[in-house]
Amino acid sequence: MRGAERFGGRRTRVWVALCWAGLGSCAAQQAPTANPARPTVTNPATLPPVGYLQFEQGYLGSLDSPATASQYGVNFVAKAAVHPRVMLELQTQPFAESREVGEDSSSGASGDVLVGAQAVLYLHPSAPAETAKTPTASPHHAIPRPTVSLAYLGRVHAGTTPDVDQGGYANGVLLLVSGDLGKFHYDSNYLFNEQTATESSPVRQAEVTLRRAQFAQTLSVNHPLWNANLQLALELYHFTQPMVHATAGGEPVARANAVDGLLALSYSLRPNLVLDGGFSHGFTSTSTRWQSFAGFTYLLPHRLWPGRS
């Protein structure tokens, strides 16, 4: 009897363990997965899960840019996919402490507020529209077609904090491309922005608004390190600077361009929570010399509205 009791107790523990394992597996399958754009400048062409609200927020510090000697602030992005191919987005810089070139004191202010949308134009039939920056296995003899999206961002509120490096813009159109090559995941953006600035006109005896076109290209490559949760990102990006006419040292430039390189690490604590940090370095005389950043991406675990059955 004691042997039967021990066998029955052991069998019960095994069934309980199997049940817990099954529940854990179901929970893991049902858990939403974040799709962070930070910490890189490049945004992914893929979208977060439909119906979930995603937050991307963190700290950004910069040294030696044409407009500021130093700036330290926070940035915030909110995203929500309302359809497998359509996402709404809000970007802002709630606060930044800036010290302008040649000044001894610093001042605090807020940045621009941008709103817009992103639409997936092409999606490979075998790839989901909602995916993170994690490479997926693919045959070595075939190069899978990338996901391609188009996005628009418009300024709805003009901030007063100085812009660094790429500068701010009133309207922006982005072509986004994302895909996988073996164990590498890549994201690339091609941007067309409308930059504006107010200057005094001696001819009109009044202030006039200047409008200039800005072009940019970015490429970011991700690769897992010891496991898929820890990712290394390398990025190179180029922005024209039509509103910049001098370096941080005051030397005039005929045509300004910012070329920067970025290195970052990100770690997924949970499928819906990703931590990140890194730095970037400018290679041209009008680039911000150094930028550092740290933050996180969090996808709310509950849908904003019921899903389809």
Cα dist from 79 to 51, 54, 63, 64, 273, whole Å: 10, 5, 29, 31, 14
What is the spatial distance between Cα 76 and Cα 91, in angstroms, rounded to a whole number? 6
Nearest to 163 by CA among 238, 89, 241: 241
What is the spatial distance between Cα 136 and Cα 177, in angstroms, rounded to a whole number? 16
Over residues 4-49, the pLDDT tens digits come to 444 445 554 544 454 444 434 444 445 699 999 999 999 999 999 9
- Determine what percent of the chain is predicted with pLDDT higher than 90: 58
The mean predicted confidence, pLDDT, of the chain is 85
- Is pTM beyond 0.85 here? no
DSSP SS3 for 152: strand
DSSP SS3 for 19: helix
Average pLDDT on 73-96 reads 95
pLDDT at position 183: 87
pLDDT at position 10: 53
Tokens of 147: 């996901």
Q: In this predicted structure, which of 103-112, 174-183, 266-275 has the lowest mean pLDDT?
A: 103-112
Residue 173 confidence class, pLDDT cut points 50, 70, 90:
very high
pLDDT at position 140: 46
Tokens of 308: 């389809």
DSSP SS3 for 28: helix
Quick check: 165 pLDDT over 90? no
Quick check: 116 pLDDT over 70? yes
User: Which of residues 163 and 204 earns the better pLDDT score?
Assistant: 163
Quick check: 261 pLDDT over 60? yes
pLDDT at position 207: 74
Over residues 281-305, the pLDDT tens digits come to 999 999 999 999 999 999 999 999 8
What is the spatial distance between Cα 159 and Cα 94, in angstroms, rounded to a whole number? 9
pLDDT at position 19: 44
